[in-house]
Amino acid sequence: MAAAFKNAGHRIMQVYSPNLHNASLLAYHVGADATNELTGINADTDLFIISVKDDVIEQVAQTLAKHQKPMVHTSGSTSIDVLIKYTDKAGVLYPLQTFSKTREVDFINVPLCIEAVNGSMYTDLEQLAATVSNHIYSINSAGRKILHLAAVFACNFPNYLYGVAQQLLADHQMDFNLLRPLILETAQKVQQQVPTSVQTGPAVRNDQTTMAVHLQLLHREPQMQEIYTLLSQGIIKNNIDGHGDK
């Protein structure tokens, strides 16, 4: 996000992290100063962006309160209330994307969810957000919690299942490259369509023979059997409820 703001012409004044090495890495990348001293932070800024672990957001906000500057956090599962306690210019900028240090994301397509304590703060954040993303949504703290939960189902759990598949292949000396095009196509399909309408596989066909063979293949891994059964039951249930197509 820091890189996206910088590329959009904003100036990142300073990057704080308790770990100075981490602060310096990002600071260098965006042409800012680095510090690991929260109490001595440079307050010559228009906005504090608090992007830290959920359970220390409030503590950081409390420390920064004395500067009386607008503050936002970037957390999906944290309410705006932890900031409202300390400033009358509180907001949230929640980018709904999975980030990793090894891969740069094209920020312009990242959905940015905004919440603000009042209309004037909302307008400011909306203008700021529009400089880096084409997909801005107004989502309050309750909605953001649901969204964060949904993101676990849509991102974290599928990635775990990719790993299960990769391990299955590795156990039998097969290459994960076999599955990579399938994984990509599965994600591309739902860019236009609704997931239940493009569900494939043995469960949606209620193909009991194949499912029994699969459970047998997993006989040494009871936890995998349990996952297989539970998710297959979910697919079968969706189909009975009439959401599915085939």
Is 149 a binder of a second copy (CB under 8 A)? yes
Q: Does 79 bind a second copy (CB under 8 A)?
A: no
Does 66 contact a second copy by CB under 8 A? Answer: no
- Interface residues for a second copy in 33-52 (CB under 8 A)? none
| Rounded Cα–Cα distance for residues 6 and 134 (Å) | 16
Q: Are 92 and 141 in contact (CB under 8 A)?
A: yes
Binding mask 99-138 for a second copy (x = CB under 8 A): xx-xx-x---xxx-x---------------------x-x-
Q: State the nearest-atom distance from the C-beta of 199 to a second copy, in Å.
A: 6
Q: Please report where in the chains the tokens 């602060």 appear, as a residue.
A: 23
Q: Is 165 in the site for a second copy (CB under 8 A)?
A: yes
Tell whether residue 212 is a contact of a second copy (CB under 8 A): no
Contact present, 211 and 217 (Cβ < 8 Å): no
Q: Is 227 in the site for a second copy (CB under 8 A)?
A: yes
Q: How far is CA 154 from CA 148, 158, 182, in A?
A: 10, 6, 16
Q: Which C-beta is closer to a second copy: that of 14 or that of 229?
A: 229
Q: Are the C-beta atoms of residues 196 and 238 closer than 8 Å to each other?
A: yes
Q: Token pair 């292949």 is at which residue?
A: 169
43 or 194: CB nearest a second copy: 194
